[in-house]
């Protein structure tokens, strides 16, 4: 069930809100847990039991780690073997078999396993939970219901952000819902909904049309690359905004997941702003345990490449994602050790440098094979004997120019600055948000094109 769907907006969410605010405080987590399970089973009826099994195993292992410190490492390993093992089996087994077959010319049959929705996200949450208990950063949950609510909480269940137990541990036990937080949640959710439906979806339509052109041009490839970069930003950051807004409805305060990454001044800065919950997870649970930057140069480079190999591989069982991660690792090393200081001293070039590398990165991210990557990049840079521009490309530029301008402006803090000034005009703010909801509803009723890119990861 998508947040940006009629079913969610006009059936699931209103019914949940009515019941949630009617029941006594002691039943609120139970209501959230039941509705979260329904939310998940609605989209993933086949593998819903995996979510519950993950809750049971990690709750038990977390308690055992805390109560039996002498054997804590054994219980931690059991939890990690289950968590990581499940992820490897459902997400990567066929990928491993395919590559073994290619290397050894074998014919091991594929399992054709369908990946459970959200497994990449809720697995990382349970991993962080047991590791943090082992490291004595958090106390284990005394209530299975509270823990299961944390893992299954529908706003962040299937597409993040990756919420750590320590972030909402106290709110699971005792939280207050008030009008100000709820109103802020409505605003945040509406902004995310607009990003997703009114910008990302339309950019997706543009990119789909450009990709199917029988006669491409240098500009059509460039336009598709820029469009996809903007699409995935508004798609994913919009979903994170909606998740954060929904959390506020129920008294939860999730951490930010995006901070205008497309205005970053370096690749290092970009990854401080993009998918913050993922990069901080790998920093705290992989990079620092490996030694971080407090090691020799060669070991530090090893650490960087391990982290970014895993970051790329986390996104999907495909070589383009691995290449995408290693691509970023290379520039992070170069910035840190060779030209980062010089880059930082430039006024304009650092922003051009960053956005060009980011757009290229999402070409790698979007293409399914290494061959597709080569064709796309060579076409985009005029190395495939294509015309600079043609009639078809001009048509799409004219059709989507206003959307592209709006998307580019909206990817900067400019609209936020304007919005803060409009808050002084109290009568105008609700009119704007109501107008956005009407536009979104009209679009959803009128079209069936409503994908969400990160569901596939």
Task: Report the phi/psi class of residue 160: left, alpha or beta, with left for phi > 0 and alpha for psi in -120 to 50.
Answer: left
Report DSSP state, residue 456. G
Is 168:253 a contact under the CB 8 Å cutoff? Answer: yes
Q: Is 253 a catalytic residue?
A: no
Torsion of CA 199, 205, 210, 214, to 10 degrees: -170
Residue 185: name the closest of 128, 114, 233, 254 by CA: 254
Of 112, 253, 275, 315, the active-site residue reads 315
Residues contacting 337, CB < 8 A, separation 6+: 297
Is 262:412 a contact under the CB 8 Å cutoff? Answer: yes
3-state DSSP assignment of residue 44: coil
Provide the H-helix boundaries in 286-427: 297-315, 319-334, 340-344, 349-366, 370-380, 391-410, 414-422
Is 140:66 a contact under the CB 8 Å cutoff? Answer: yes
Residue 318 to residue 238: CA distance in whole angstroms: 25
Is 192:238 a contact under the CB 8 Å cutoff? Answer: yes
Is 250:16 a contact under the CB 8 Å cutoff? Answer: no
Q: Enumerate the active-site residues.
A: 315
């Amino acid at each position: 069930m998508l947040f940006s769907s009629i079913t969610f907006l006009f059936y699931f969410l209103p019914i949940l809100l009515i019941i949630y605010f009617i029941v006594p405080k002691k039943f609120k987590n139970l209501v959230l847990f039941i509705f979260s399970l329904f939310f998940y089973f609605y989209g993933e009826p086949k593998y819903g039991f995996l979510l519950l099994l993950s809750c049971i195993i990690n709750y038990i292992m977390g308690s055992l780690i805390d109560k039996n410190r002498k054997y804590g490492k054994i219980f931690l390993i059991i939890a990690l073997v289950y968590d990581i093992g499940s992820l490897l089996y459902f997400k990567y087994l066929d990928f491993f078999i395919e590559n073994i077959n290619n290397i050894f010319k074998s014919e091991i049959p594929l399992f054709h396993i369908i990946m459970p929705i959200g497994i990449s996200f809720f697995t990382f949450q349970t991993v962080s939970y047991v590791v943090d208990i082992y490291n004595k950063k958090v106390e284990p949950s005394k209530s299975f219901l509270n823990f299961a609510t944390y893992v299954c909480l529908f706003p962040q269940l299937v597409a993040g952000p990756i919420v750590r137990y320590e972030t909402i541990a106290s709110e699971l036990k005792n939280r207050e819902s008030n009008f100000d937080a709820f109103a802020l949640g409505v605003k945040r959710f509406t902004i995310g909904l607009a990003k997703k439906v009114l910008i990302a979806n339309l950019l997706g339509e543009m990119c789909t049309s450009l990709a199917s052109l029988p006669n491409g041009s240098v500009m059509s490839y460039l336009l598709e690359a820029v469009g996809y970069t903007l699409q995935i930003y508004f798609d994913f950051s919009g979903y994170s905004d909606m998740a954060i807004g929904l959390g506020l409805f129920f008294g939860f305060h999730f951490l930010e997941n995006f901070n205008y990454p497309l205005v970053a001044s370096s690749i290092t800065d970009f990854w401080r702003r993009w998918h913050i919950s993922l990069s901080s997870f790998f920093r705290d649970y992989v990079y620092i345990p490996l030694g971080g930057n407090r090691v020799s140069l060669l070991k530090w480079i090893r650490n960087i490449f391990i982290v970014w190999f895993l970051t790329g591989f986390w996104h999907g069982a495909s070589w383009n994602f691995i290449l995408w991660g290693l691509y970023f690792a290379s520039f992070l090393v170069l910035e840190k050790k060779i030209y980062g200081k010089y880059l930082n001293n430039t006024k304009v070039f650092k922003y051009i440098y960053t956005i060009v590398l980011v757009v290229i990165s999402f070409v790698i991210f979007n293409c399914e094979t290494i061959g597709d990557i080569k064709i796309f990049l060579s076409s985009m840079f005029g190395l495939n004997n294509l015309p600079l521009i043609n009639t078809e490309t001009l048509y799409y530029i004219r059709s989507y120019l206003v959307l592209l301008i709006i998307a580019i402006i909206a990817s900067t803090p400019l609209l936020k600055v304007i919005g803060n000034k409009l808050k002084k005009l109290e009568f105008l703010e609700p009119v704007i948000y109501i107008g956005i909801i009407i536009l979104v509803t009209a679009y959803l009723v009128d079209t069936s094109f409503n994908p969400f890119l990160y569901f596939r990861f």
